[in-house]
Structure 1
Amino acid sequence: MTEASTPQTSIKKILPLILATAIFMQMLDSTILNTSLPSIAKDLHESPLNMQNAIISYVLTLAVFMPASGFLADRFGTKKVFIFSLVLFSLGSLFCSLSQNLTHLVISRVIQGVGGSLMTPVGKLALIKTFDKSELLKAMNFAIIPALIGPVLGPLVGGYMVDYLSWHWIFLINIPIGVLGILLGIKFMPNYKSDDVDFDLKGFLIFAAASLLLSVSLELFGDMQNITPVLLVFIMGFLFLYYYYKHAKREGNPIFPLNLFQVRTFRVGIVGNLATRLGISSVPLLLPLMIQIAYKQSAVTSGWIIAPMALTAIFGKSSVIKILDKYGYRQTLMINTFIIGTLICLLAIPDIHTSLYWFIPIIAVLGFFNSIQFTSMNTISIADLRNFQTSSGNSLISVNQQLAIGFGIAFGLIVLKLFENTDLINGEIHNAFRFTFLTVGILTILSGFVFRRLHISDGKNMKSKED
């Protein structure tokens, strides 16, 4: 293992900021696109509800290429791979801004996705290898802030850009942020490498195929005219997962070792991430769409409605360490998930004649509890991993997280389209959104029971040192 010559104290101060820059750029990009979909759809002569390809293609690419992030970091070094990923992401952003049709946009999003698939997991890997576990909660807590502020600032910035400039600027804004990340990475990113590197190409291809098939099947579920091919794709995805399981049992050094799942906290963290993010991930897409499509408001208005989430996310960040130290991971994650699901259900209460200001307190409180949820889930997943499991475990956590986001987006749109085609909504598109929030919220509440598998003492080794 090698490390940059920069003093360790400087690295520890700047490294969380470097990861925060990468996460911020990635989250800002995703959420700006959510708010701007109606404007982009109009310019590209597409329906807003058919624009999910521009979102899901990016998430799919992340899920397919993230499994290779751990190997590439071990082989070429965290510094080189991280800087390369930022360059690729910035170039993809430029190509997105130059897109002339939906196909061009999807291809450009795939290029962005390849960069994004390396950017965040490699940055997180450097963070995990730099900090002791007793310091890691505070470092991760700082780096995760952009994951909370990005989804809030994105709709607001995107709204102003769409209304007063053009949708092309929502991608161009990534370039200066990317340059900042590159400059910081060159100076402060440690270059951790491993001399013993063996890439499981067959396992990578099998797992990538499984991720791709499962994600595509969820996207296709939105078109219920012919369910048979969709179910076949879905079943094939699970067959490839089983094929990977058999392969990993035989392979001496699989890309994702099965012994990762013998670590209970890792196993619960993976399942909990996947289950709870189904609901959490759909809200940043559904709420701006509802405000613009059902309430006929501008992108700027939808951005301001969601904006309070940023302030409360910061309060959540400052509280999460004290909450975890007092109540532990098990109780915190269970109760927190129940609260988030209830808040999502509350979004279904206002009818089309209710003031939009009704949403603001719900969104504000949701930002606080989302902050606690993300930090808690990310840290408990790695709490008991050993050093030799760090690279593969971190990659699988990142893959799982992106798949969960993609599933959440696809699931929200599927439920919305299903209700849109029923008699329950009485011809009012707003009612379709209300039923969707109710459905997603109830499922989020139920997902909280996943964390019952945690023990009261789990995560004690993550307890932060006293300042």
Structure 2
Amino acid sequence: MNPGRRLALIVACALFIENMDSTAIATSLPAIAADLGTEPIALKLALTAYLLALAVFIPVSGWVADRFGARSTFMAAIAVFLLGSLACAASGTLEQMVAARFLQGMGGALMVPVGRLVLLRTVPKSELVQALSWLTIPALVAPIIGPPLGGLISTYSDWRWIFLINLPMGLLGLFLAWRFVPDLREPVKPLDWTGFALSGLGLALALFGFSSLGRHMVSTPVAVGCLLLGLGGMAGYVWHALRHPHPLIDLRLLVLPTFRAGVMGGMLFRIGIGATPFLLPLMLQLGFGLTPLASGLLTFVSAVGAMFMKTIAASVLKRFGFRRVLWVNALLASAMLAGFGLFRADTAHGVIMAVLLVSGCFRSLQFTSLNAISYAEVDPARMGQASSLSGMMQQLSLALGVAIGGYALQIAGAFTGHDYADASNFGWAFLTVGTISALSAWVMFRLPPDAGAEMAGRAEPGHEITDPKPAQRPNT
């Protein structure tokens, strides 16, 4: 087999088990909660713990690979992920599950970025596009398989098998990595340990405190204390990063208009979208009384829509341009997200699947556009820093989405006087996260009309597109 393709498939195995695990667990939250003796809404902590670990450790993945070698780091990351999977399967309390998911996230934070780094450093440029295309396959296929598989296991077996099925593929990945992944090393630059401590502890404490305010795991005073300490640590990192010559995460990149729009606007959009894998299975199972399997067989179609949109996204961007696609599509995707709250227990399943399918298309187009426009003005020397900051903010926004979605559900229950799991409360929760997501349209609308024109194939390099109708800019 072609070495580049073989390397891509090895990394793809790691990406597949990570994505499949994340989508399968969302479908099984009610079953897990019942077994652990806690409320399903409390398991938002298990979801946010994983995403938080990704946000904290992704920025140091490149340094770790250069310091200890790419193969050693990649194998260690797989091993940590598998240990986290075993710990998840053995969990008997909410606290144990949250800790195990954080351990899983530590492995995931190194596993895929380091694997992608190996590809970029070893595969010839003439073969790189083909190798990276192999890498995208599991990212598209796993979300299709994950929800039905998680539902099937939770309905007819024990939810713990969701984590145990990671072991065979993970062990195969370890063997293949040992056999075929080169142990690449690069000169190690000094790590910004102060920045890592401030950003890591700040993010961890702030998000844990915010997610725990619903009196899950710790008391409200402790949660508030963690939140305040975390915000202080994050503020300290901003002060530190703006003065350090080589900060862990270079916040000065946010002066670039397209990068700022992609990161900050993308954060608002992802907060809304990040709540969906948490709220939707709860609504279908707790609100409508569906089994986990029936729920998974409905929600997987969203990933099918996302896969279809990948095939035409480039053509859409070339036809309409980044700015128009980003702000219009943000409103459309957010409206459909808010519309999930209009589903009722007697809504035909075909209608639900059709809405989720179309929603997946809009969501995928937005993600593709955001991921591209973010790097339109970033020079090659700062691309690694830009990727780290963007990746960290993506995971942080998804974690915030889960937490905000849970709070919206609880607040709706308090106002309606019904239990939070009552079907009527989900409409308000989806409206809340959909509104937050829609706010991203204003950030995108403020982009220049020719933003990313070269990347979209709408202008020759070095030539700008002028706005032919400045008086009618919203309709251009």
Shift of 1:411: 0.8
Q: What residue number does 2:55 align with? A: 63
Distance 2:369 2:177 in 1: 27
Q: What residue number does 1:245 align with? A: 238
Q: What residue number does 1:198 align with? A: 190
Q: Which runs of 5+ in 2 are unaligned?
A: 458-476
Q: What residue number does 1:443 align with? A: 436
Q: What residue number does 1:37 align with? A: 29
Work out whether 1:22 is the aligned partner of 2:17: no
Residues 44-65 of structure 1: per-residue CA shift (max 9 Å, x gap): 2222222222222222222222
The more displaced of 281-290 and 86-95 is: 86-95
Residues 302-337 of structure 1: per-residue CA shift (max 9 Å, x gap): 011112223222211111122223323222222222
Shift of 1:195: 1.1
Q: What residue number does 1:345 align with? A: 338
Distance 1:428 1:91 in 2: 33
Which residue among 385, 390, 396 is the counterpart of 2:378? Answer: 385
The more displaced of 36-45 and 148-157 is: 148-157
Q: What residue number does 1:295 align with? A: 288
TM-score by length of 2: 0.86
Q: 1:404 to 1:15 in 2, by over 3 A?
A: farther
Q: What residue number does 2:354 align with? A: 361
Letter in 2 for 1:366: S
Letter in 2 for 1:398: G
Q: What residue number does 2:460 align with? A: none
The more displaced of 423-432 and 293-302 is: 423-432
Shift of 1:357: 3.6
Any idea what SS the aligned residue of 1:100 has? coil
Any idea what SS the aligned residue of 2:311 has? helix
Structure with the greater relative contact order (CA < 8 A, sep ≥ 6): 1 or 2? 1
Any idea what SS the aligned residue of 1:51 has? helix
Q: Does the CA contact (< 8 Å) of 2:321 and 2:456 recur in 1?
A: no
Work out whether 1:309 is the aligned partner of 2:302: yes
Residues 104-160 of structure 1: per-residue CA shift (max 9 Å, x gap): 322322221110121233234445556899998887676445444433422210011
The more displaced of 18-27 and 230-239 is: 230-239
Q: Does the CA contact (< 8 Å) of 1:121 and 1:395 recur in 2?
A: no
Q: What residue number does 1:257 align with? A: 250
Q: What residue number does 1:376 align with? A: 369
Q: What residue number does 1:3 align with? A: none
Q: Does the CA contact (< 8 Å) of 2:45 and 2:212 recur in 1?
A: no
Q: 1:380 to 1:298 in 2, by over 3 A?
A: same
Q: What residue number does 2:325 align with? A: 332
Q: 1:286 to 1:387 in 2, by over 3 A?
A: same
The more displaced of 295-304 and 227-236 is: 227-236
The more displaced of 224-233 and 248-257 is: 224-233
Q: Does the CA contact (< 8 Å) of 2:322 and 2:456 recur in 1?
A: no
Q: 1:460 to 1:161 in 2, by over 3 A?
A: same
Q: Does the CA contact (< 8 Å) of 2:241 and 2:249 recur in 1?
A: yes
Q: Does the CA contact (< 8 Å) of 1:92 and 1:108 recur in 2?
A: yes
Q: What residue number does 1:432 align with? A: 425
Work out whether 1:88 is the aligned partner of 2:74: no
Distance 2:328 2:124 in 1: 28
Any idea what SS the aligned residue of 2:342 has? coil
Q: 1:365 to 1:143 in 2, by over 3 A?
A: farther
The more displaced of 316-325 and 347-356 is: 347-356
Q: Does the CA contact (< 8 Å) of 1:149 and 1:313 recur in 2?
A: no
The more displaced of 18-27 and 48-57 is: 18-27
Distance 1:75 1:459 in 2: 35
Q: Does the CA contact (< 8 Å) of 2:253 and 2:386 recur in 1?
A: yes
Shift of 1:220: 2.6
Q: Does the CA contact (< 8 Å) of 2:69 and 2:184 recur in 1?
A: yes
1:143-292 equivalence runs, <5 A: 143-186=135-178, 189=181, 192-223=184-215, 233-292=226-285
Q: What residue number does 1:52 align with? A: 44
Q: Does the CA contact (< 8 Å) of 2:144 and 2:304 recur in 1?
A: no
Q: 1:298 to 1:290 in 2, by over 3 A?
A: same
Q: 1:462 to 1:218 in 2, by over 3 A?
A: same
Any idea what SS the aligned residue of 1:197 has? coil
Letter in 2 for 1:297: L
Residues 224-270 of structure 1: per-residue CA shift (max 9 Å, x gap): 99977655544443332221122123323221124322333322221
Q: Which runs of 5+ in 1 are unaligned?
A: 1-5
Any idea what SS the aligned residue of 2:241 has? helix
Q: Alignment RMSD, CA only? A: 3.1
Distance 2:143 2:174 in 1: 22
Any idea what SS the aligned residue of 2:271 has? helix
Distance 2:119 2:328 in 1: 29
Shift of 1:92: 1.4
Shift of 1:216: 1.7
Letter in 1 for 2:308: F
Q: 1:76 to 1:260 in 2, by over 3 A?
A: farther
Letter in 2 for 1:414: Y
Distance 1:63 1:322 in 2: 32
Distance 2:389 2:277 in 1: 24
Any idea what SS the aligned residue of 1:314 has? helix
Q: 1:245 to 1:379 in 2, by over 3 A?
A: same
Q: What residue number does 2:393 align with? A: 400
Equivalent pairs counted in the alignment come to 457
Any idea what SS the aligned residue of 2:288 has? coil
Q: Does the CA contact (< 8 Å) of 1:62 and 1:116 recur in 2?
A: yes
TM-score by length of 1: 0.87
Distance 1:119 1:32 in 2: 19
Q: 1:149 to 1:434 in 2, by over 3 A?
A: farther
Q: Does the CA contact (< 8 Å) of 1:121 and 1:398 recur in 2?
A: no
1:98-177 equivalence runs, <5 A: 98-126=90-118, 143-177=135-169
Q: 1:132 to 1:335 in 2, by over 3 A?
A: farther
Any idea what SS the aligned residue of 2:22 has? helix
Q: What residue number does 1:73 align with? A: 65
Shift of 1:432: 0.4
Shift of 1:428: 7.7
